[in-house]
């Protein structure tokens, strides 16, 4: 499933977040027997009280403003 997700959905997986990709597909595998509503409820229950800040997910580009560098 992970290989299929690589080619079909993500197209690139960084080593930094590989554990997150593996956990996502493991969760999908574990909930595969539930119907859609039950899957959504189980997912929401595991997310309760957790948050992920954008800065922890993206790598800085070295610019103080955080803007993208213009290349021509």
pLDDT tens-digit map of 44-69? 888 878 887 777 777 666 666 666 66
- Number of domain units in the chain: 1
Whether 56 maps to a domain, the answer reads no
Give the residue, 36 or 52, on which the prediction is more confident. 36
Whether 39 maps to a domain, the answer reads yes
Q: Is the pLDDT of residue 72 over 60?
A: no
Q: Residue 38: what pLDDT?
A: 92
Phi, psi at residue 10, to the nearest 5°? -90, -35
CA 64 to CA 72: how far, in whole Å?
20
For the chain, give the mean pLDDT.
78
Whether 65 maps to a domain, the answer reads no
Contacts of 43 (CB under 8 A, 6+ apart): 27, 31
Contact 69, 61 (CB under 8 A): yes
What's the average model confidence in pLDDT over 31-45?
89
Q: What's the pTM?
A: 0.50
Q: Which domain covers residue 21, as residue numbers?
A: 2-49
Of 16, 20, 19, 39, the residue nearest 29 (C-alpha): 39
């Amino acid at each position: 499933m992970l290989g299929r997700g690589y080619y079909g959905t993500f197209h690139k997986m960084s080593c930094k977040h590989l554990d997150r990709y593996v956990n996502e597909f493991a969760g999908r595998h574990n909930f595969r027997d539930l119907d859609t509503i039950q899957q959504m409820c189980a997912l929401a229950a595991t997310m309760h009280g957790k948050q992920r800040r954008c800065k922890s997910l993206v790598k800085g580009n070295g610019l103080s403003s955080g803007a993208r560098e213009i290349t021509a």
